[in-house]
Amino acid sequence: MELRWKEAAIPKRFARLIDLAGNLWWTWQPDAQRLFERLDPVLWEEVRHNPVALLRRIERARLNAAAQSPGYLELYDRVLAEFDRALTGETWFERAFPAHTGIPIAYFSTEFGIHEAFPAYAGGLGVLAGDSLKEASDLGLPMVGVGLLYQHGYFNQRITEDGWQEALYEDLDLENLPLSLMTGPDGQPLQVEVAIAGSPVRARIWRLQIGRIPLYLLDTQLPENAPADRELSAQLYAGDPERRIAQEMILGIGGVRALRALGVHPGVWHLNEGHSAFSILERLREHIAEGLSFEEAAARVRETTVFTTHTPVPAGHDRFSFTLIERAFAGYWEQLRLSFQEFCELGRQDEPWGPTFNMTVLALRFSDHRNAVSELHGRVTRRMWAHLWPDRPAEQVPIRHITNGVHVGTWLARRMRALYQRYLGPDWMERVDDPALWERVLEIPDEELWTIRRHLKRKLVAFMRERARRRWQRNHVSPIQIVASGVLLDPYALTIGFARRFALYKRAYLLFRDPDRLRRLVNDPQRPVQIILAGKAHPADEPAKRMMQEIYRLIKDPAFGGRIAFLEDYDIEVARYLVQGVDVWLNTPRRPLEASGTSGQKAALNGVLNLSVLDGWWREGYNGANGWAIGEDRDYEDPNVQDAADAASLYELLENVVVPLYYDVEADGIPHRWLRMVKESIRSLAPFFNTRRMMKEYLHEMYFPALEAARRTAVAIPEPVRQGVRGHHLAEQPAGPRSAEHDTIAGGGEHGV
């Protein structure tokens, strides 16, 4: 590794660019991103904002030129000083809770959305997990992440000329990612082992550093594994139940064993959705091996487990047949001193077709700290799982809610950040959850805010045109596909964004329910409207793919004048441009199936107004003056009646409220009434719907009770209890750039490693 970097010939003056590239702290620091971009702007775009790949490919002449630039040198020194302060300075958590700083919080998630250069996420669940780790770093929480390293990531989306989604898979280039392979004293990779269907499956452990937070990722792509087992960590959300249960055994059981091998002994175990619930079984096994009874072990596990459920959609809760459980676990239940039938009862959920082992049921039964992700979702979740507490009415089911938020530093446009810096004060980023701070938004001059909003929309349109140009050069697609990519969009027309996972309950079709009415709306010569859509359907979701195809065919219709576009291959980069650049963020889920949603929160931070059904977070955020509510605050028995009512409300709002307000421009060329609503949106939404408020809420309501329980019953796991751990002493072998100095600064020592 060191030899390769010597060959890259990074000048000594810029040696710490390697440190910076090796820690994803730069992903939420605009000046750090500029540091890499200014070296070679064209190459920076070509490598998709991946500083590791940039530093490996950059010409020495570019680095020499930067070394002669006083402006670049000043930026370099300032960014590195901020980097060191972020990783070594005193944190909010250390100041506020010094007694809790030494007990790690383990955060398990099947996906983590950190940045587009590391595609280990499918959508909102992963992005929330990534935002949570970033905020944990900012606050100084002693957190450690656990997930899987997917060699193929999720999938790249291509839309054919007739609108059909194709899924393309590419291998991750591990050499160009800032990953460190954890190794033992002999220099060999540290491994854990999990028995699946009676056969051992081994996984190695990689580390990805997110500011102060280490994220450990397990990978089964090892020659000693059977070919099928090597593929267990190949693809996110494998559709085959046998592969899915094996993945979740690696994540849950293997994740616990990985932390033990790394010397990390968490006081809190936070399961982000039910995919990692098998970690509960492994912790039960450990306690029982210590000599505890099953009941005593269960009590220990419950009081230190935090479980967050994210969906009221039944298909979002993994469940397996008892036959598959019996085959996959092959006697594991005996280590819990249970019969197979008793083992199945731990996660039993009766379905119309018979009993299943449900991962959410397992997590709910073995966690004392449970939450939904919005107030309405909390109500729905308590009703949904009330049968697990048959002695209580649904409203007393012990599942609270903590509404999701977004990481401000990641999603805020650079110019909006500078604007807030001027008017909110130099310390505003440390106080984003303070409502009094955001009152100052009302003092921002309309002229400045409007100038930035127009700039961000021009950036979005330019981004879409450049993507269309590259697609034209690379794939020789048809001209109509290029038009559908947005090349005819007007950077000054009212622009509506709709971007999310394409599932039927998200109702992307609602806007197209009356095509003639929509044509009149978008083609108004005095007040044109344009719409940008983006999103992926799960490769196995045929109905969603057919819906996407029908919408795409409408988009290609010349009658719409090129004013509706579909931006293919939705990812974090595309999301940033959209939530920063559109004027209105549209959300049309079938209530109450949107647990929370966060894309509209990102948009609101950037001065974009929400137009949404009163579901998820928007039901809490809407105050009548900060955006618009589609339909009524009610649920429907008949989905067709609901669709008709919501579509009518949507068209009525667009035609008679939203469009007239946007084009109500005064003599100075500025829509002051529109901007009044924009400021109210920022003022009322920004201080609550952010991860700083969210993580503090988790601390007070979930983590601290679990930490106190852990302190009361703190018992180190003795060596004989550990299973499947091959080696206990650590070193690491970087796959991406990491120097010895970086390991001193950003190593896992504060987390018990």
In three-state secondary structure terms, 633 is coil
Q: Are residues 385 and 253 in the same domain?
A: yes
Q: Are residues 120 and 250 in the same domain?
A: yes
Instruction: Give the whole-angstrom CA distance, residue 582 versus residue 707.
Output: 43
Q: Are residues 22 and 121 in the same domain?
A: no
Is the pLDDT at 102 greater than 90, yes or no? Answer: no
Name the pTM for this structure: 0.93
Q: Are residues 34 and 52 in the same domain?
A: yes
Q: Is residue 731 part of a domain?
A: yes
Decide which of 53, 88, 123 is a domain's last residue. 88
Average pLDDT over residues 404-417: 98
- Residue 209 sits at φ, ψ, to 5 deg, of -95, 125
pLDDT of amino acid 456: 98
The secondary structure of 81-131 as a DSSP string is HHHHHHHHS--HHHHH-GGGTTS-EEEE-S-----TTS----SHHHHHHHH
Tokens representing 453 are: 């909003």
Instruction: Give the whole-angstrom CA distance, residue 626 versus residue 610.
Output: 8
Q: What is the CATH number of the domain that holds 685?
A: 3.40.50.2000
Average pLDDT over residues 113-130: 93
H-assigned helices in 556-606: 572-581, 599-605
Q: Are residues 387 and 447 in the same domain?
A: no
Q: Are residues 616 and 719 in the same domain?
A: no
Residues 683-699 pLDDT 10s: 999 999 999 999 999 99
Q: Is residue 72 part of a domain?
A: yes
Residues 588-629 pLDDT 10s: 999 999 999 999 999 999 999 999 999 999 999 999 999 999
Decide which of 661, 689, 717 is a domain's last residue. 689
Is the pLDDT at 55 greater than 90, yes or no? Answer: yes
Instruction: Give the whole-angstrom CA distance, residue 163 versus residue 481.
Output: 9
Q: Are residues 146 and 84 in the same domain?
A: no
- Cα–Cα distances in Å, from 702 out to 271, 660, 695? 12, 46, 10
Tokens 């949603």, residue? Answer: 597
Q: Is residue 96 part of a domain?
A: no
In three-state secondary structure terms, 659 is helix
Residues 3, 734 contacting (CB under 8 angstroms): no
Is the pLDDT at 396 greater than 70, yes or no? Answer: yes
Residues 275-316 pLDDT 10s: 999 999 999 999 999 999 999 999 999 999 999 999 998 888
Q: Are residues 541 and 475 in the same domain?
A: yes
pLDDT of amino acid 721: 54
Q: What is the mean pLDDT of the chain?
A: 92
Chain mean position to CA 1: 30
Decide which of 63, 88, 113 is a domain's last residue. 88
Q: Is residue 326 part of a domain?
A: no
DSSP state of 702: I
- Residue 191 sits at φ, ψ, to 5 deg, of -130, 155
Residues 256, 717 contacting (CB under 8 angstroms): no
More confidently predicted of 547 and 478: 547
pLDDT of amino acid 113: 96
Average pLDDT over residues 459-486: 90
pLDDT of amino acid 741: 32
The secondary structure of 276-305 as a DSSP string is GTHHHHHHHHHHHHHT--HHHHHHHHHHTE
Residue 1: pLDDT band (50, 70, 90) is very low
How do 199-210 and 213-219 pair as beta strands? antiparallel
Q: How many domains does the chain have?
A: 3
Q: Is residue 339 part of a domain?
A: no
pLDDT of amino acid 144: 98
Among 27-41, 310-324, 703-717, 721-735, the range scoring the smallest mean pLDDT is 721-735
H-assigned helices in 223-277: 227-230, 241-249, 255-262
Average pLDDT over residues 49-64: 94
The backbone region for 198, taken as left when phi is positive above 0, alpha when psi lies in -120 to 50, beta otherwise, is left
Q: Is residue 334 part of a domain?
A: no
Q: Is residue 352 part of a domain?
A: no
Average pLDDT over residues 428-446: 97
Among 188-197, 510-519, 708-717, the range scoring the smallest mean pLDDT is 708-717
Q: Are residues 223 and 182 in the same domain?
A: yes
Residues 587-596 pLDDT 10s: 999 999 999 9
Q: Are residues 661 and 730 in the same domain?
A: no
Q: Are residues 377 and 442 in the same domain?
A: no
pLDDT of amino acid 735: 52
Residues 555-576 pLDDT 10s: 999 999 999 999 999 999 999 9
Q: Are residues 611 and 654 in the same domain?
A: yes
Instruction: Give the whole-angstrom CA distance, residue 276 versus residue 107.
Output: 10
Q: Is residue 345 part of a domain?
A: no
Identify the domain containing residue 463 by its residue range.
Answer: 408-689
Tokens representing 307 are: 């479980």
pLDDT of amino acid 740: 32
